[in-house]
Amino acid sequence: MASCVALLSGGLDSVLAARLILNQGIKVTGVNFAGAYCPRPAEGKSAADRAAEQLSVELVILPIDSGFIDLVKAPKYGRGGHMNPCIDCHILMIQRAWEWGKARGADFVVTGEVLGQRPMSQNKQALGIVARRSMTDGRLLRPMSAQMLEPTDPERQGLVDRGKLLDIQGRSRKRQIELAAQFGIKDYPTPAGGCLLTDAGFSNRLKEAFEHREDSVASIELLHIGRHFRLGSGAKVIVGRDEAENKELLRRKPAGAVVIDGTNLPGPIALLLKSDSSGPSDKSDRLLAARLCARYSDRRDAPEVTVLVDGEPLAAKPATAAESASLVVG
């Protein structure tokens, strides 16, 4: 039996592409990428998890690692509206998925890309660049638009029946929605994607983090959690917005971070992190972090409150709205 790996974001196009190949009796293994700017949910299932269940295929999660961070910092083929280097990212994802699949005997790699759906990253030139640069050697198949593109090796060799592939192009989703109904696919997200690089607020935080040389995967994974503040020293304070974020901040607490605990007020958990470009956190940083934490507590209007800073009580006057606004990032 022929087999392939299919990039499975959980979006409708990726689900339909995998279904078209499954319908030809070919084994499909879904590949999804997670980490950094593509976080998996802290609880519950991701869109990719649900898609794999609908398709009854195995789902493999590969990491967004430092290689992806490097291309976000300096993309060869430019960015979209924010920090999203879509062409570069597609190249690396397809290359990594194909390397994983080829090592396990896969015959080709599948994506849900649709010709002309995204003006920057899915025009004919961009699709050609991705095919050449991803080092798939003619083994990259795009079932949704295959009949609008040159035949790939799996088609030429008879592994895939080209006549059963599609000729979709453009931004309309009418045919995809009709196919979903035909295939009984009901659970799929709206076309927004799980990449935070397309979000303006996250992109602003990321650019600011890069300016302070905070470019590790762990640092970037903190950017989508809580409220972020940059102190004059260069240190950062992250304040949880709800109980789930408080737990997530404690779970992801980097070595050396100072925990500000305002839950007695009641209030949030906050982390004080030394920046790579700052000096050691001092008493003034700890006090300001405590004040920012208190600002988002139920006692924000009190003249003074006591919070715990690495377990030690510290009296602090809650920061004003103007003070917090002057320090906020993103």
Does domain 3-183 sit in CATH 3.30.70.20? no
pLDDT value for 119 = 81
Low-confidence residues of the chain, pLDDT below 70?
Answer: 192-194, 275-281
Secondary structure of the chain as H, E, C letters? CCEEEEECCCCHHHHHHHHHHHCCCCEEEEEEEEECCECCCCCCCCHHHHHHHHHCCEEEEEECCHHHHHHHHCCCCCCCCCCCCHHHHHHHHHHHHHHHHHCCCCCEEECCCCECCCCCCCCHHHHHHHHHHCCCCCCEECCCCHHHCCCCHHHHCCCCCHHHCCCCECCCCHHHHHHHHHHCCCCCCCCCCCCHHHCHHHHHHHHHHHHCCCCCHHHHHCCCCCEEEECCCCCEEEECCCHHHHHHHHHCCCCCCEEEECCCCCCCEEEEECCCCCCCCCHHHHHHHHHHHHHCCCCCCCCCEEEEECCEEEEECCCCHHHHHHHEEC
Q: What pLDDT is stored for residue 188 in this prediction?
A: 87
Q: What is the largest CA-CA distance in the chain?
A: 76
- Tell me whether residue 16 is exposed, middle or buried, using C-beta atoms within 10 angstroms of its C-beta: 0 to 12, 13 to 18, 19 or more: buried
Q: Is the peptide bond before 266 cis (omega within 30 degrees of 0)?
A: yes
pLDDT in tens, 114-160: 999 988 889 999 999 999 999 999 999 999 999 999 999 999 999 99
What confidence score (pLDDT) does residue 268 get?
98
Specify the pLDDT at position 276. 57
Tell me, what's the pLDDT at 209?
97
* Cβ atoms 300, 265 nearer than 8 A: no
Q: Please write the tens of the pLDDT for every residue from 180-220.
A: 999 999 888 877 556 899 999 999 999 999 999 999 999 99
Nearest Cα to Cα of residue 141 among 166, 117, 123 = 166
Average model confidence (pLDDT) across the chain: 95
Q: What burial class does residue 192 get, using C-beta atoms within 10 Å of its C-beta: 0-12 exposed, 13-18 middle, 19+ buried? A: exposed
CA 80 to chain centre: 15
By the 8 A CB rule, do 131 and 110 touch? Answer: no
Distance CA 279, CA 232 (A): 11
* Burial status of residue 88 (CB atoms within 10 A of its CB: 0-12, 13-18, 19 or more): buried
On whether the CB atoms of residues 164 and 24 are closer than 8 A, the answer is yes
Could you identify the residue written with the tokens 């503040």? 229
**Which pLDDT score is estimated for 280?**
52
Q: Domain-by-domain residue ranges, the chain?
A: 3-183, 225-329
| Predicted TM-score (pTM) of this structure | 0.92
Structure confidence at residue 54 (pLDDT): 96
pLDDT given for residue 190 in this prediction: 76
For residue 31, the model assigns a pLDDT of 98
The bridge status of strand 328-329 relative to strand 236-239 is unpaired
